[in-house]
Amino acid sequence: MSGRLSGRRGGWSLALRLARRDAMRSKGRSLLTLVMIALPVAAVSIADTVYATSDISGVEVVERRIGGAEARVSIQGGGGTVVYQLPDPDDGIAWGGEGRQGDDDTVARDALDAVLGPRPSITLVEGSVGYDTELGVGRVEVLETELADPLAAGLVELTSGRWPTSTQEVVVNADLLERAPGDVLTLRDGTGLQVVGTAESGTYTDYPRAFALPGTFELGETTGWLVGGDPVTWEQVLELNRIGASVVSRAVLADPPPDSELPLEVQWGQSLLSGPALTILVLIVVMVLIEVVLLAGPAFAVGARRQARTLALVAAAGGTPAQARRVVLASGLVLGVVAAVLGVLLGLALAVAVMPAAQHFSGQRFGPYDVVPTHLLAVAAFGLVSAVLAAAVPAWLASRQDVVAVLGGRRGDPRPSRRSPLLGLALMAAGIAGASYGGAQGTSGGGEIPIAVSAVVCVLAMILLVPVVVGVVARLARRLPLPLRFAARDAARHRTRTVPAVAAVAATVAGVVALGIAVTSDEAQNREGYTATLPDDAAAIVDYRRRPDLDAVARRVAEVAPDVTVERVLGIRDSGRRWNEVRVTGPDGGRILMGWSSTLGSSMLVGDAVPAAMTGLDDEQRAAADAVLARGGVVAFSDRALEAEEARVRLIRHDGRERRSTRVEVPAYFVTPESDFPPAQGVLSPAAAEGLGAEVVGAGLYLPGPLSTAEATDIDEAVSGIARSASFYVERGYQTDDETMIAQLVLGGLGAVLMLGGTLTATFLALSDARPDLATLSAVGATPRTRRSVAAAYALVVGFVGAVLGALVGAVPGIAITYPLTGPYDYGAGRALGPSHYLDIPWLLVLGVVVGLPLLTAALVGATARSRLPLTARLD
């Protein structure tokens, strides 16, 4: 054997054979290892393939964007506009001045012909129009072009019927046909268009859409052309940019120019990642790599223990520690290659199944199934590297085992290092210091990278400290029931298996907690900064016509929602050709109103009591305000605290160039609003309004509610149908956006999957490794239930210890990132305003991953573990 072990090549050949045989002999453990490595590879492969398929830029789907034409030319801006674009303007575009384009369509078309020369072309115009629904008015996205022309082939796909042959005909998509059924599409101006077919956009899948010949919808001047003929070169694209047009050229997409020929104004678009973004991406990759290594580590630790006798024989035959390490590393290499290949193939297969669900959440139609080989090779390499790294520590420990002890039938684990915990403490201190430094930068910028680096440092420090924590838990378990005591002490005795498992759970929880704190704190800032302008689930209708017929609007609301109460709100007209400005002056002579803003149709309302629609007043303030209005006074919102009992009110009438004013001095009650945008600027009593000579009009309608979503939709359409200039607003309070909700669900779901997967894998590996100990328990009288209890205790110890450690470590970067994320910032001055920030810890999420998931894992393990085991000898 000594001769066969000599030489690096020969050593690797033998090591790979031993690794292959060990993998085939221990199929269960090998399968678990493959799952731990292949699943992340498959997940990334799915994400990369779905993203590549959803990316419709470039030449592969050019027909959807420019049809059968050589280029699509779109006018950008008015006269004098210069366009700076990347080869694909969707990837980057900017505008400037000093161009040569004229102000009208004719000049623009002449300039286009001057650059491209005579060639076939058709116009293309896009926009939106209103159409009649059963309850009122809806909006439809429209496209006008010569749909049957070969230049437009591919823009729109006809699904039934025929193309329009006149401006009195139209084809519609399924969404529009569902909302406006029938053979005639009636536009808002009363024009009826005959529906002669159905079609779908080649690019978009969302919103009602209609397609027709040019001039059908009277959208205005032409904004684009599809041009045929010869290919449009990059030089011609630049020339068209100089006359104010952006261009999607088939030839340029197929053969883009070098970066050196791109305009300086958009070369930023070629850099997909900035320096900080690239740093953050690298750190994320490192964190994921650490996670995969830790998840797969226990399997290789158990495998190295199973190969302990073989490695001892290698050493006894003259093998070196390097050759022993090579045998264990070969296991990582063999399983890593298989896992990488299986993960990529599984990802490609699952991507096909995931694609329809992903398409459902996108408003753009995906391109053909697309695979980027270089990306998948990188993902496969990631899986292979993670497997080899996962085997590195067990390989190093295996090369240091006590050969005599192993050959004698005992376990020859080396003593744990005393320097590793000290290094861990030093790294933890460095991580906390880095997070503190990043947090101290606040919103001034530059703090995100130190915080991200500190997160990685803290996780590495935690890995080094896990053996100490496991040992402490074992000492504290002396008074616990037998299953927990057995599991805790076994975990401490076999740290090469336990440490990676606990660290994997801790790393997962650390990431979940850190991101959870960041997301919920940012959400807390958004929620705190939101100020309702109406009571919850109430609504307001405002008609901005010169002489609005609010009574007709109220009757229409009663027709579609008979159970909804409608109240008329009075105010002083402050819009239109003839408008009024009301100024309230405080005791210091300064104007206290903050501008013209109102949800209720008038900046200054009129009433003998504060309307119920006015928010921002508590019961005591409302009673005091009503008393002042009863005395003929004014209630005014002020941007500063005022204690005056009287105020001067000035009414300024604007009628063209004529400007007249009237002043009165009346009792006053001042309220400091919670935000700069109160529901109105104040309330004037009828007596004060009469003293000013102000014309009191119906400002709007108030619907106390509560309004359901269906009622709000019906009222919105009905109001749009009777009054085009009317607006309808429903106060729903602060609504968490979809991205935040998805992020929170993904955090919880991903954390649960990784925790369950890591804990279950580590537990079953531990149970497999502890078969001699469990057999001894059975020999001395332990009941079958004891094995289940011990199995559940293993899962609980690994999951709970890892979760607690992870929560503590994740809180460091999580709390630190809230300073730059939520701190106040003066965007005008470009600096932070102060140290105040928002911190909201998601306790439900934390309790779920720290307490709930370990208990759930323990219950699953206890329910599925085998309760009987054949007796085996135990020699150590």
169-172 vs 192-201, strand pairing mode: parallel
Tens-place pLDDT, residues 320-354: 777 778 888 888 889 889 999 998 999 898 888 88
Categorize the per-residue pLDDT at 162 as very low, low, confident or very high, splitting at 50, 70 and 90: very high
Strands (E), 475-565: 539-543
d(Cα 642, Cα 666) in Å, to the nearest integer?
Answer: 15
For residue 139, pLDDT over 80 is answered with yes
Asked if residue 346 belongs to a domain, the reply is no
The confidence score (pLDDT) of residue 832 equals 44
Q: What is the mean pLDDT of residues 498-524?
A: 84
d(Cα 59, Cα 291) in Å, to the nearest integer?
Answer: 38
Higher pLDDT, 839 or 780: 839
SS3 538: coil
- Tokens at residue 851, please? 């307490």
Instruction: Find the farthest-apart pair of alpha carbons in the chain and give their distance in angstroms, rounded.
Output: 113
420 with 516, same domain: the answer is yes
For residue 128, pLDDT over 70 is answered with yes
The confidence score (pLDDT) of residue 213 equals 93
Higher pLDDT, 806 or 413: 806
For residue 265, pLDDT over 70 is answered with yes
d(Cα 155, Cα 249) in Å, to the nearest integer?
Answer: 15
d(Cα 733, Cα 736) in Å, to the nearest integer?
Answer: 10
Please answer whether residues 679 and 533 qualify as being in contact, where contact means their C-beta atoms are separated by less than 8 angstroms.
yes
Range of the domain at 853: 416-530+736-876
Beta bridge partners of 572: 696
Q: What is the mean pLDDT of residues 568-596?
A: 74
Q: What are φ and ψ of residue 798, in 5° steps?
A: -65, -50
Peptide bond into 87 cis (omega under 30): no
Asked if residue 286 belongs to a domain, the reply is no
User: How many CB atoms are closer than 10 A to CB 261?
Assistant: 11
Last residue of a domain, one of 730, 757, 782: 730
For residue 212, pLDDT over 90 is answered with yes
Q: How far is CA 541 from the centre of its chain?
A: 33
d(Cα 521, Cα 349) in Å, to the nearest integer?
Answer: 38
The confidence score (pLDDT) of residue 156 equals 92
Categorize the per-residue pLDDT at 14 as very low, low, confident or very high, splitting at 50, 70 and 90: confident
With tokens 């001095």, the residue in question is 665
Asked if residue 556 belongs to a domain, the reply is yes
135 with 225, same domain: the answer is yes
Strands of the 604-606 sheet, one edge to the other? 578-585, 646-655, 658-671, 634-637, 682-684, 604-606, 567-572, 696-703, 539-543, 726-730
236 with 87, same domain: the answer is yes
The confidence score (pLDDT) of residue 383 equals 84
The confidence score (pLDDT) of residue 221 equals 65
Asked if residue 666 belongs to a domain, the reply is yes
Asked if residue 33 belongs to a domain, the reply is no
484 with 572, same domain: the answer is no
Asked if residue 336 belongs to a domain, the reply is no
783 with 699, same domain: the answer is no
Q: What are φ and ψ of residue 840, in 5° steps?
A: -130, 110
Q: What are φ and ψ of residue 320, in 5° steps?
A: -90, 165
Higher pLDDT, 756 or 168: 168
d(Cα 35, Cα 787) in Å, to the nearest integer?
Answer: 25
For residue 859, pLDDT over 80 is answered with yes
Beta bridge partners of 591: 585
For residue 79, pLDDT over 80 is answered with no
Categorize the per-residue pLDDT at 506 as very low, low, confident or very high, splitting at 50, 70 and 90: confident
Tens-place pLDDT, residues 539-549: 998 877 767 78
778 with 753, same domain: the answer is yes
The confidence score (pLDDT) of residue 101 equals 44
Asked if residue 122 belongs to a domain, the reply is yes
698 with 721, same domain: the answer is yes
The confidence score (pLDDT) of residue 337 equals 92
Radius of gyration in angstroms for the set of CA atoms belonging to the chain, rounded to a whole number: 36
User: How many CB atoms are closer than 10 A to CB 731?
Assistant: 19
The confidence score (pLDDT) of residue 827 equals 40
Last residue of a domain, one of 730, 764, 797: 730
604-606 vs 682-684, strand pairing mode: parallel
For residue 710, pLDDT over 70 is answered with yes
**Alpha carbon distance, N-terminus to C-terminus of the chain:** 29
d(Cα 775, Cα 298) in Å, to the nearest integer?
Answer: 22
The confidence score (pLDDT) of residue 102 equals 45
Q: What is the mean pLDDT of residues 350-370?
A: 77
Tens-place pLDDT, residues 785-838: 777 888 888 889 988 999 999 999 989 988 888 888 776 644 444 444 444 678
Q: Find the range with the poorest average confidence among 111-120, 390-399, 402-411, 781-790.
A: 402-411
For residue 144, pLDDT over 90 is answered with yes
With tokens 């699952």, the residue in question is 350
Last residue of a domain, one of 698, 713, 730: 730
The confidence score (pLDDT) of residue 443 equals 59
Position 419, amino acid: R
Would you call 650 exposed, middle or buried from its count of C-beta atoms within 10 A (0-12, 13-18, 19+)?
Answer: middle
Please answer whether residues 310 and 297 qualify as being in contact, where contact means their C-beta atoms are separated by less than 8 angstroms.
no
* DSSP codes, 208-233: -EEEE-TTSS---S--EEEE-SSPPP
Q: What is the mean pLDDT of residues 151-169?
A: 92
The listed range with the strongest mean pLDDT (221-225, 363-367, 489-493, 746-750) is 489-493
Nearest CA to 80 out of 108, 116, 50, 55 is that of 108
Would you call 622 exposed, middle or buried from its count of C-beta atoms within 10 A (0-12, 13-18, 19+)?
Answer: middle
> What's 700's DSSP letter?
E
Please answer whether residues 505 and 802 qualify as being in contact, where contact means their C-beta atoms are separated by less than 8 angstroms.
yes
**Average per-residue pLDDT for the chain:** 80
658 with 721, same domain: the answer is yes
For residue 125, pLDDT over 80 is answered with yes
For the chain, what percent of residues have pLDDT higher than 70? 82
How many angstroms separate the Cα of 408 from the Cα of each of 309, 404, 412, 861? 9, 6, 10, 33
Please answer whether residues 172 and 199 qualify as being in contact, where contact means their C-beta atoms are separated by less than 8 angstroms.
yes
Categorize the per-residue pLDDT at 744 as very low, low, confident or very high, splitting at 50, 70 and 90: low
Position 51, amino acid: Y
The confidence score (pLDDT) of residue 438 equals 82
425 with 514, same domain: the answer is yes
> What's 370's DSSP letter?
-
586 with 724, same domain: the answer is yes
Q: How many domains does the chain have?
A: 3
Q: How far is CA 646 from the centre of its chain?
A: 51
Categorize the per-residue pLDDT at 72 as very low, low, confident or very high, splitting at 50, 70 and 90: very high
Helix 373-398 × helix 27-54 angle, to 10°: 150
d(Cα 322, Cα 531) in Å, to the nearest integer?
Answer: 67
Position 276, amino acid: P
Asked if residue 159 belongs to a domain, the reply is yes
Please answer whether residues 585 and 592 qualify as being in contact, where contact means their C-beta atoms are separated by less than 8 angstroms.
yes
Residues in Cβ contact with 788 at an 8 Å cutoff, skipping those fewer than 6 apart: 862, 863, 865, 867
Categorize the per-residue pLDDT at 415 as very low, low, confident or very high, splitting at 50, 70 and 90: low
452 with 555, same domain: the answer is no
Q: How far is CA 456 from the centre of its chain?
A: 22
Q: Find the range with the poorest average confidence among 83-87, 167-171, 312-316.
A: 312-316
Q: What is the mean pLDDT of residues 493-505?
A: 80
Categorize the per-residue pLDDT at 147 as very low, low, confident or very high, splitting at 50, 70 and 90: very high
> What's 65's DSSP letter?
H
Nearest CA to 204 out of 140, 265, 259 is that of 140
* DSSP codes, 148-165: TSGGGBTTEEEEEE----
d(Cα 813, Cα 434) in Å, to the nearest integer?
Answer: 9
702 with 794, same domain: the answer is no
